[in-house]
Amino acid sequence: MNTITAAITAVGAYVPEFVLSNKVLETMVDTNDEWITSRTGIKERRILKDKDKGTSYLAIKAAQDLLAKANIDPLEIDLLIMATATPDMPVAATGVYVATQIGATNAFAYDLQAACSSFLFGMSTAAAYIESGRYKKVLLIGADKMSSIVDYTDRSTCIIFGDGAGAVLFEPNYEGLGLQDEYLRSDGVGRDFLKIDAGGSLNPTSFETVTENRHNIIQDGKTVFKYAVTNMADASELILKKNNLTNEDVDWLVPHQANKRIIDATANRMNLDDSKVLMNIEKYGNTTSATLPLVLSDFEHLFKKGDTIILAAFGGGFTWGSIYLKWAYDKK
């Protein structure tokens, strides 16, 4: 029997229409376009303005985009994994609702949360299901409505995050394409440096937590940046060494879009030419679980069957890692 590998066979994406530019942010907080651009690489981000729509809306749109482009019957999907840090509700899994809404009623579904590494960890999970031979079509969605947890009076965070969603379909491959290897890590030392303090079992919602504004994301920017630069670069370099790859073997780097300086540091560690480093951070900012699939969607037209792609991410907790993937198709 031929060895089963798990390959991405389709991608989809969705971003809201409303554009929150640096110029608009200048009217909201004490900042300016030059400062934001030079330190993050971000020029604008998309925001889901409708208060009646949550992360599920973004995810549904991305999934529908994938299904339409690939001409796939949602009833064929065996499993839906929802990578998100901003579920619609604390208990009712968002992925379950998304599966039902897109017509994937034969699939079981659940949410996966590892902050900005959620989609990367979800890739490992989806691939394992495919490689087991039990499932043929696993839909992995990365989606976040970060605007729902951002304090727009906090200039250290409101300039960074945006809303969006991306989706990929994993299917069995018998040509040796798809996910080749992974290096995934986590360290609880990061718990206090990037978090939402209240709303969980440790600090349940109360009058005090609301009035003290403890339900929005906060971060120690310098500490997070230091850990992100080191660990994302380390993971990307290590995945090359593990697989005896050189910079010449890598066709594309797909990095988490948190900060251009972190991306540049990772590419430099890998000794990659800028032309191989894929970025859309200037358009979307940090969409957390959605950054990697949004890059895959935006640059799908460049990928050729057999291309070597390295994906890397770093997130709160801390969580981080890299994945070595061989692309499985030429876009039609």
* pLDDT at residue 331, rounded to an integer: 87
The confidence band for 2, taking pLDDT boundaries of 50, 70 and 90, is: confident
Q: How far is CA 151 from the centre of its chain?
A: 21
φ/ψ (deg, to 5) at 311: -110, 140
Whether 116 is catalytic is yes
| Count of beta carbons in the 10 Å neighbourhood of residue 180 | 19
Q: What is the pLDDT of residues 102-146, one digit of tens each?
A: 999 999 999 999 999 999 999 999 999 999 999 999 999 999 999
Nearest to 29 by CA among 144, 160, 149, 145: 160
What span, in angstroms and rounded, lies between the C-alpha atoms of 24 and 2? 55
Q: Which is the catalytic residue, given 173, 231, 256, 259?
A: 256
What span, in angstroms and rounded, lies between the C-alpha atoms of 77 and 129? 12
Q: Which two tokens stand for residue 184?
A: 């995934």
DSSP state of 161: B
Is there a contact between 254 and 272 (Cβ–Cβ < 8 Å)?
Answer: no
Is there a contact between 47 and 147 (Cβ–Cβ < 8 Å)?
Answer: yes
Residue type, 196: I
| Cβ-proximal residues to 111 (8 Å cutoff; 6+ apart), any chain | 81, 82, 83, 84, 87, 93, 94, 95
End-to-end CA distance of the chain: 30
Whether 215 is catalytic is no
Q: In degrees, to the nearest 5, what angle opens at C-alpha 310 toward C-alphas 305 and 311?
A: 115
Whether 286 is catalytic is yes
Domains of the chain: 5-177 (3.40.47.10), 179-327 (3.40.47.10)
* pLDDT at residue 332, rounded to an integer: 78
Does the pLDDT at position 242 exceed 80? yes
Q: What is the pLDDT of residues 5-64, one digit of tens each?
A: 999 999 999 999 999 999 999 999 999 999 999 999 999 999 999 999 999 999 999 999
DSSP H or E segment with residue 67: helix 55-70
Q: Which is the catalytic residue, given 116, 158, 173, 231?
A: 116
